[in-house]
Amino acid sequence: MVLVLMGCGAAVFGADLMYAIGGITSASWILMVAFAFGLSVIAMAYTIGPISGCHINPAITLAVYINKGITCKDLCLYMIAQIVGAFIGSGILFALVKTGATTGGITTTGANNFSDGMLLPAIIAETVFTFIFILVVLGATDNKNNAPKFAGLAIGLTLVLIHIVCIPITGTSVNPARSIAPAVFEAFNDITALKHLWVFILSPFAGATLAAFTWRCFKKEDMAQKKLDVLLD
């Protein structure tokens, strides 16, 4: 809920400002949105991280499940909670827009989308950037990480970096829940976002799966090296 409300909220109201009065440039809007998403993750990581691990992203949940960090039951419950939270955040944002909080800027929900002819770049971008993001999540939260207190900061800043690069391509999802709710609310104005929604569900899941198996390979290599070191000792 917080991620969608703050991140997509920055996109909606920042774009509204840019559209209405030319108060900000496209570059500064991208930075504003990127930091809104990243700071939301940092804030929630240190708030609910000790309770649930602060997944707030079905792609992260899938990767953790593949690496046997949670059960199948937890996988389903986490994803349901994430989508419900996203709908609450998007609903609040939609209510703000409909009650006159904006003047009708470029976007009213922060839904992900891409222009015609950009399907392949969108798929590549969402898959690759999700892969990078999830790899950082798995590494930063690993039990053997020497700086676990900085995990939330590393993950949030990585999300900022990814948004800076990916926003011009797709608006940046790397999170199916973040894309589903805004797309549904966007359908009240334009159904295009729903037409492309499958990209923002399947591509992040593909990137997360690749990251999970890559991390498992890293861990197996690490275990093999340690066993070899023990034998040599």
The mean per-residue pLDDT over the stretch 149-177 comes to 96
Over the chain, what is the mean pLDDT? 89
Q: What is the pLDDT of residue 223?
A: 60
Predicted confidence band at 205 (pLDDT cuts at 50, 70, 90)?
Answer: very high
Specify whether the CB–CB gap between 97 and 108 falls below 8 A.
yes
Model confidence pLDDT, tens digit, residues 17-60:
766 555 556 888 899 999 999 999 999 999 999 999 999 999 99
**What's the rounded Cα separation, in Å, for the pair 83 and 224?**
39
The pair phi, psi for residue 175, each rounded to 5°, is -160, 100
Q: What is the pLDDT of residue 143?
A: 81
Where do we find the tokens 């948004």? Answer: 163
Q: What is the pLDDT of residue 231?
A: 52
Instruction: Kindly report the CATH number that applies to the domain delimited by 2-224.
Output: 1.20.1080.10
Q: What is the pLDDT of residue 103?
A: 56
- Does residue 225 register a pLDDT over 60? no
Q: What is the pLDDT of residue 171?
A: 93
Instruction: Name the more confident of 24 and 76.
Output: 76
What would the two tokens of residue 124 be?
A: 């590549």
Cα distances (Å, whole numbers) of residue 73 to 25, 48, 169, 188: 45, 20, 35, 33
> Which of 62-71, 95-104, 165-174 comes out lowest in average pLDDT?
95-104
The mean per-residue pLDDT over the stretch 159-165 comes to 97
Give the amino acid at 222: D
Give the amino acid at 132: I
Q: What is the pLDDT of residue 151?
A: 93
3-state secondary structure of 70: coil
**What proportions of the chain, in percent to the nearest 5, are helix, strand and coil?**
80, 0, 20
For 25, other C-beta atoms within 10 Å of its C-beta total: 10
Q: What is the pLDDT of residue 145?
A: 75
Instruction: Name the more confident of 106 and 152.
Output: 152
Query: Which range has highest mean pLDDT (189-193, 214-218, 224-228)?
Result: 214-218
The mean per-residue pLDDT over the stretch 87-96 comes to 94
> Which of 140-149, 171-180, 212-221 comes out lowest in average pLDDT?
140-149
Q: What is the pLDDT of residue 199?
A: 97
Is 217 exposed, middle or buried (CB count within 10 Å of its CB: 0-12, 13-18, 19+)?
exposed
Q: What is the pLDDT of residue 25?
A: 66
**What's the rounded Cα separation, in Å, for the pair 221 and 219?**
5
Give the amino acid at 77: L
